[in-house]
Amino acid sequence: MTIKRILLAGAAGVAMLAVSASGALAGTGDIYKVSGERVNLRGGPSNQAAIRGQLLQGEELIELTQHGGWLGVRVARTGEEGWIFSDLVRRVSQSSLNRMPSAGGFQRYSRDFDVMVEAIDRQLGIPMVAEINQGPNNTLRVTPTAEWMLGTSRDAKLYAALALWQMWKSSSRDRPANVAIVLGGANYISINDTPNGPTLGIEPPNVGALTGSTR
């Protein structure tokens, strides 16, 4: 099945999730340090946004908000605020304040998408997400629960992957967006941005990884 056919078949159902996924919510208060040698502090979450200044390696930052792969930060030393790309910093301390539980699992990436996933989880009676992390090349890697893998059809999994990609694409703005539904540490379904458009990859599922619950 081609990505074009998937896009056409699932467009109506996915559109609601894609439209609601524009707002991202971050866990504020986390402390980061600049890992790049010299990085730009920008006026907005985009490579096209104006450069407000440059930060040197080791500069300490306080996270204020997040949008896709960008962090809105305050420079601890000067109080200056701006946006920095998350690949150029490393987190050194995590705040325990202002953190609400995320039943859907996607609150850090998109609050509205998280709400919709939570609602669907309630309808299905099974949770979708066991683990989410951001890998290289702006890849959102989602490990589903065994219950969700066993309790949903192949078509539902493909449409879920498409909805994830639409959400991540919207959040990533001007960056290529890649997503993978991961099973047993290996990609099961993946959608990757390429110069010629998105491509769909499907690998045989690791059945051994479905033994027991992942939650």
SS3 for the chain, per residue?
CCHHHHHHHHHHHHHHHHHCCCCCCCCCCCEEEECCCEEEEECCCCCCCCEEEEEECCCEEEEEEEECCEEEEEECCCCCEEEEEHHHEEEEECCCCCCCCCCCCCCCCCHHHHHHHHHHHHHHCCCCEEEEEEECCCEEEEEECHHHHHHCCHHHHHHHHHHHHHHHHHHHCCCCCEEEEEECCEEEEEEECCCCCCEEEECCCCHHHHCCCCC
Domain boundaries, the chain: 3-24+99-210, 31-93
CATH architecture of 3-24+99-210: 2-Layer Sandwich (3.30)
Residue 98 or 151, more confident: 151
Is the predicted pLDDT of residue 16 greater than 60, yes or no?
no
pLDDT of residue 152: 86
Averaged confidence pLDDT in the chain: 79
Superfamily classification of domain 31-93: SH3 Domains (2.30.30.40)
Residue 65 or 208, more confident: 65
Look at phi and psi of residue 9 and say left if phi exceeds 0, alpha if psi is from -120 to 50, else beta.
alpha
Is the predicted pLDDT of residue 54 greater than 90, yes or no?
yes
Neighbour-count burial of 76, counting CB atoms closer than 10 A to its CB (0-12 exposed, 13-18 middle, 19+ buried) = middle
Is the predicted pLDDT of residue 74 greater than 60, yes or no?
yes
Task: Please state the rounded mean pLDDT for residues 149-176.
Answer: 89
- Considering the chain, what percentage of its residues have pLDDT values greater than 70? 77
Reported pTM: 0.56
How far lies 53's CA from each of 39, 46, 70, 86, 191, in Å? 9, 15, 16, 16, 35
Is the predicted pLDDT of residue 95 greater than 50, yes or no?
yes
pLDDT of residue 20: 36
